Each structure stands twice: as C-alpha cells, then as structure tokens.
Amino acid sequence: MKIAEQLIHHVIGDVSSLSPMERFHSRLCAGIMLGVIFANLLLFVIWFFLAVERTQLGLVSFAVALSLYIASLVLYYLTKNRLLACHVFVAMLAILLFTAVTLTGGISSPVVSILIIVPVMAVLMGGSRSGAVWFGVTLVAYATQVAFTLLNVSVPMVLHPGDREFFQPALWITGTSLIFISLMVLLAANNRLSESIYRSQQRFEYLAHTDATTGLNNRRYFERMMSELTDLEGSRRSPFCLFYLDLNDFKAVNDNHGHQAGDLMLKHVGHLLTSTFRSNDSVFRLGGDEFAAIVQSELTHQVAERLLAELDKACEAPLKIAGKTLTVSASAGTAHFPSDGVDMDALLHAADSAMYAQKQRIRKSQSEA
C-alpha cells in the first residue's frame, strides 16, 4: 500500500495548492489508472500460463493495451490535467474492451461481462456526467454487437475455442480485482479527504477563536465560554473567578516607540499571563490593551487578591526592544460567579469596577509621590 501511495504521489505531484476535493479526485484518478494497469498485468499472467493457445496476436494485444494505459498515466504526469487524462484513459479502456468483444465472439464473448467497468471507471474518475456519457456509449457498443449478430455480420474470431471456458473466470477474477483495487483507492482517498477537512475545520476554529497578535483566545471565544459557564443549571453550574486586566499608559508605548513595539509588548504581557495562570485556566485578549482570564474553580477573595498581586508583579517585567528597555504596569479586578453576578455583563461590570478602583489607587499614589 505504501508503494502504491508513493506511485500516486509521484504521478500527481505537489497538490498542496489544490482544494481538498481536488486532491481527493487527483489521488483517486491516479490510483484507478494504476489499478487498471495492475489488472491488465494480472490478466496477462493468467493468460500466459493457463491459455490453451498463446498466439502472437494475444501478446501484441496485451502489449498495446498496457502501452495505452501507461501513456494515459504519463499524460497525467506531464500535464497534471486530471479531466483530460481521465477521459483519454476511459476512452482507451472502452476502445480496447469493445474491440475485444468484437474479436472474441460478439454478444457471446466472455468480455461482455466486464463492459460495465467502462461507465464505473468513468464515474469514479470523472464524475456522474462522465459516467452517464460512457454508460450511453457502452449501450451503443453492445447494441452494435447485437446488430452484427442479427445481420449475420462476419467478424474474425481470434479466441481459441479451448480458451473460452478459461477466459470467463479469468476475466471475472481480473474485473473483481480491479473493482477491489478501485474501492481501496477510493477508501484511501476518502480517508485523506476526511483528514484534510478535519484539519481545515480545526484550523478555521483556531483562527476564529484566536487573537492574531498575542496568540491568546480572543473576545469571541471569551463571550462563548462565559455564556456556556453562566447558562449551566443545577448541579452542572460551578463557581468560577473572572480576572479583568487593563494595561496602564499603554498608549504611550505606541506613541513613543511605534505600533510594532506595542504589539511586542502585548505579546510579552500575554506570555506573562499564561505563565502566571495554570494550564487549565483560560486567558484572553479582549481587544486593545484589555485582557481577561477565567479560573474554573472556587477561589476565596484572599487567593484572588494574591493572584492579582502576582499579575501586577509579572506585568512589570521589563521587555527589551531594539536595545531599549520598556516596562508597563497593569490594573486588574476580579468578579466571582455567582456571588458578583450570574451573567457575563454583570460579571464584566463587577470586574471592571474593581479594576477601575485599583487604577485610581495607582494614579493617586503616583500623584502623591
């Protein structure tokens, strides 16, 4: 299976720029082409060792069929045009099978039993429209054979009578093998498609809930989490503590050192916050210089105050940017659910009021100093 995957990857090349569905169809198309080539080789081996008569015409027929299939695969490799390669491949398959039916007994030929492969391959490789077209072509080809029989049209018979009984099960084995390989390729391509879609969904969800500057959870995810926590009822409702933090004089960093320095400072603060809180706590950047954290456990006011002190100390850690050492302080407040509020707005108001009170105390102490 790994060898088949490597061959498919070599044929289709780099498909990272394609959509997940296009990558799915590319792998499926190349895989079926390789499957048909394998089935043709299997039929040749069965014919070579078990046929009553091995004619030069038989050898040439297998060689021509194999060459045409490989040529279609090379066309795909060179052009990377999936639809063109698929239609050429199905056309080659159809011509070879229709010719084989004509030269091995018409409607009584054992090859008739595998004509259904043509529209099946067309559906898998080119889609429902291609399948419908080639189903119609197959019906016309079969109707032509019926007409030859009714009109007593003489067609050279190249199948040895002794090989007819052998040829029927040989074709059945080959056709079954081809269908099995196609299904395996389809399953493998579908698994890759599912994994790709899942990764894309995870990526989109991450981008939707992540602040681009700091890498923290963003306001949208904060609101969603707050709604989930406050909407719980009965025994499922658990107390939690909301920390609300605002940087002091952050505007001066942007004004004096530029927005790039301001972004670096925001990242620095985000890192300090994630280092202060536990790994199972949630830290957010709400926008601008506002941050929040949710601790999903019941904290006493003394523990919350101690955490606030740690936050104040952590945010004062200096940051060196282009040889300059920048520092920033922060004001923070807390709100406890459900004692300080039972919904997001009430909890934010309580935490913001506590944060504003601390900011006023800082300004008062600075003015007195």
What is the domain-level CATH number for residue 330? 3.30.70.270
pTM over the 0.75 mark: no
pLDDT beyond 70 at 264: yes
User: Residue 120 has which token pair?
Assistant: 């099946």
Last-in-domain residue among 162, 177, 207? 207
So what's the pLDDT on residue 138?
Answer: 92
Tell me the HSE value of 336 on the side-chain side, using a 13 A CA sphere.
11
The per-residue pLDDT of the chain, averaged, comes to 83
Cα gap 195→202, rounded to integer Å: 10
Q: Please count the residues of the chain.
A: 369
So what's the pLDDT on residue 157?
Answer: 65
So what's the pLDDT on residue 307?
Answer: 84
- 87 with 190, same domain? yes
- 169 with 277, same domain? no
> What Å distances lie between residue 270 and 202, 264, 274, 358, CA to CA?
22, 10, 6, 20
Is pLDDT larger for residue 235 or for residue 303? 303
- 153 with 271, same domain? no
So what's the pLDDT on residue 237?
Answer: 79
- 292 with 357, same domain? yes
**Residue 346 lies in domain:** 219-368
Q: pLDDT band for 257, please (50, 70, 90 cuts).
A: confident
- 169 with 305, same domain? no
> Looking up tokens 């559906």, which residue turns up?
123
- For residue 334, which phi and psi values (nearest 5 degrees)? -125, 160
Share of residues in the chain with pLDDT > 90 (%): 19
Nearest to 106 by CA among 54, 158, 40: 158
Bridge partners of 74, per DSSP, are none
- Residue 213 placed within a domain: no
- Residue 212 placed within a domain: no
User: Residue 305 has which token pair?
Assistant: 């105050």
So what's the pLDDT on residue 162?
Answer: 58
- Residue 214 placed within a domain: no
- Residue 12 placed within a domain: yes
Mean pLDDT for 42-51 is 79
Q: Are 225 and 282 in contact (CB under 8 A)?
A: yes
pLDDT beyond 60 at 1: no
Cα gap 241→225, rounded to integer Å: 13
Is pLDDT larger for residue 233 or for residue 271? 271
pLDDT beyond 80 at 335: yes
> What Å distances lie between residue 83 and 75, 89, 171, 181, 342, CA to CA?
11, 10, 28, 21, 59
Number of domains in the chain: 2
C-alpha of 103 from chain center: 47
- 261 with 347, same domain? yes
Mean pLDDT for 43-64 is 78
Nearest to 26 by CA among 38, 42, 10, 40: 10
pLDDT tens per residue across span 300-323? 878 888 888 888 777 777 788 767
So what's the pLDDT on residue 213?
Answer: 92
- Residue 354 placed within a domain: yes
So what's the pLDDT on residue 69?
Answer: 87
- Residue 243 placed within a domain: yes
pLDDT beyond 70 at 65: yes
pLDDT tens per residue across span 345-363? 999 999 999 988 887 876 7
Is pLDDT larger for residue 90 or for residue 103? 90
pLDDT tens per residue across span 99-119? 888 877 788 887 888 888 889
Most confident of 48-52, 80-84, 158-162, 241-245: 241-245
Share of residues in the chain with pLDDT > 70 (%): 91
- 241 with 267, same domain? yes
So what's the pLDDT on residue 188?
Answer: 78
Compute and round to an integer the Cα radius of gyration of the chain: 36
Last-in-domain residue among 207, 230, 263? 207
Most confident of 53-57, 154-158, 263-267, 359-363: 263-267
- 300 with 199, same domain? no
- 292 with 361, same domain? yes
Torsion sign over Cα 248, 251, 254, 259: positive
Q: pLDDT band for 366, please (50, 70, 90 cuts).
A: low
- 242 with 309, same domain? yes
- 86 with 159, same domain? yes
Q: pLDDT band for 167, please (50, 70, 90 cuts).
A: low
So what's the pLDDT on residue 137?
Answer: 92
C-alpha triplet 43, 47, 48: angle, nearest 5° = 115
- Residue 74 placed within a domain: yes
Bridge partners of 95, per DSSP, are none
So what's the pLDDT on residue 170?
Answer: 67
- Residue 177 placed within a domain: yes
Is pLDDT larger for residue 58 or for residue 215? 215
- For residue 27, which phi and psi values (nearest 5 degrees)? -65, -40
Cα gap 165→102, rounded to integer Å: 18
Name the DSSP class of 113. G
> Looking up tokens 């084989």, which residue turns up?
100
- 54 with 199, same domain? yes
Last-in-domain residue among 207, 237, 253? 207
